[in-house]
Structure 1
Amino acid sequence: MSYAFPDSDPRPPRRSRRGPLTVAVVAPVAAALAGWLVWQAVADSGDGGTPKAAPPSQQQSSAAAGTTAPASPTASDRDGPDDADDGTDGDKNDGNQGDEASSSAPAATGPLKGKVVVIDPGHNPGNFRHTAEISRLVDIGTHRKECDTTGTSTNAGYTEAQFTLDVSRRLRALLEKQGATVRFTQDGDRAWGPCVDERARIGNKAGADAVVSVHADGSAAGNRGFHVILPGSVKAGAADTRAIVGPSRELGERIAGNFVRVTGSAPSNYVGNGTGLVVRRDLGGLNLSTVPKVFIECGNMRDSKDASLVTSGAWRQKAAQGISEGIVSFLRG
């Protein structure tokens, strides 16, 4: 996902009904997490990140020729990008589904019974074949920007769109076991998109209790770690995030803490001042949301060490687990 010009807001007071975020720090990342342990005392930095480099054309070709794997993870997952479903099973429609979400059947039992979670797998494996469609501008309240982008990739050609679908499907399976009804903005079942404004509307129409947009970053080599993007306070045009800023921050904090604990990954060393939290006002998926929503950049695909993580099926399962446990913690209170 592109990263440009984040804004910073003062941290709103936490609601008393939820306990403080606890972060378990493991020895291999103790030094990197020093800033994380003091995040409650530090406001978001608003640091500007490094824009992503577009994947080379040969990487796009690799995406088009990707393999197909089961939608849900299995015990036989093997490390490497070839165990991910890239969703490139043909253009099933024209990319315009009228803000409808792909939906799972509601689970019969579990602590999240009655809760609706919308998962937004970033980008789409078919986007690179529909550059005209995804390049058109849409209104995100504060300004107009591209409908969507192709996303980034590792230097070896494993695309962000493959990664986000695989993690999202693993995440869905985990949440359904907790009793949640899970809906997707796209599940490799459309030719391109949806646009960022439609992604927001899908969560809004579902009346979601939480929405998480899954991504991986494409910054410079040496930039490592994850970060969670929170909505800033926006009131412009169709965008009004004031009611969701507080709960979205709480959702983001819960996800960040559990992501550290489960994956052992450190918060970003290039944005967020070690907190793993960044506030932005330039993302349509956040600006137009009326329900609690965050983005998570699970790692930097252009760094070789982070790339070795995102291309591992075992690590992607941990990433899904960390996100799931954060969502569960938020929804259970």
Structure 2
Amino acid sequence: MERHLATEKQWLRTRLESLIDAARETEQKLNRLAALELRLLEAHEFPAVLGILLEDLKTGFDLDQVALVLCDDQNDLQTALESHSLPEHWPLRLIADPAPLRPLREPTLGSPGDDDPHVLDFCGMKKLSSRALLPLRRGTDPIGLLVLGSCRAERYSTDQDTYLLKRLAAVVSVCLQNTLSAWRLREIGVTDPLTGMRNRRFFDQRLQDEILRMEREGHALACLFVDIDHFKRVNDDHGHATGDHVITAVAQRLAHHLRRFDLLARYGGEEFVILLPALEPAEIHAVAERMRHQVEATPVPMDQEGEIHVTVSIGAARLPPRLLKGKPPEQRARALLNAADQALLQAKESGRNRLVISQEFRDARLT
């Protein structure tokens, strides 16, 4: 009898220790999850949010795969991410049509199957033994899908409780929406509402950044001022709505000749400003002349008035990296802008529809 009681007591002790260990493990998992969710809520930029999901979630919870599909029907996410250098190995996909994700309304656990959305074919699903598909939603509308994958079949079984996974999906959904909303608000503040190009506020900040980068990398920086010739006549003869249409059309023609990292901004009224890093004088001349020629050769079509022929005057200046070295970035930026502005004035005074490149920075007194 005593032996039986001792055996039962030992079994109970072992069982209790096992339950305590399981409880501690669950508590640790909850704490890690809460810490990760807090970091997500504190993140304000897409790279930070994506890094927490695609890197930290994977390593912190011993997962073999974490992948993310995001709905981007308005191309906002693509635009927001273009300015960041995201790691190429991140399993991230943007889709324009959310239809493949609509059937998923609850977390789906178990082994990968043929019924999984085809948009997941990029993340190595067939190599996994179990996965959790977490729908990300805004109300009833799908905004994405978070995939957690494991090479252990027991990691995500069909009979597993999904409360914590639902909570994680809800937090991720809110964080992604908040981050996108914040990005949209910032974009409104630095985007010209008429043309969709950057505005002067954005240009002023970017100019400072480009001056600093010029100092670090040792390349020249060129600035072009572009002014639509006789624009007042367009407004007087055809109305301000037509004038707005002309401004937008000219902006599109100018943008066509720029590289991805160049900057075109509407400086005010009918005037644009362009930054061209790391170009030689002959290249600046060629780019500016292509712009001028295209505007001149491509009339702006109007709905009921045929078309309008417009031209532009361009003033350009190029700041070599060694000139004004050691001066404050604000002073170097001001000198570059003034030189391009004076060149534009010369172009307009000498007949318009022409390019003038400033010779100011050849003066040794500026060094």
> What TM-score do you get using the length of structure 1 for normalisation?
0.23
* Larger RCO (CA within 8 A; separation ≥ 6): 1
Q: Which has the higher helix share?
A: 2
> What TM-score do you get using the length of structure 2 for normalisation?
0.21
Q: Which has the higher strand share?
A: 2
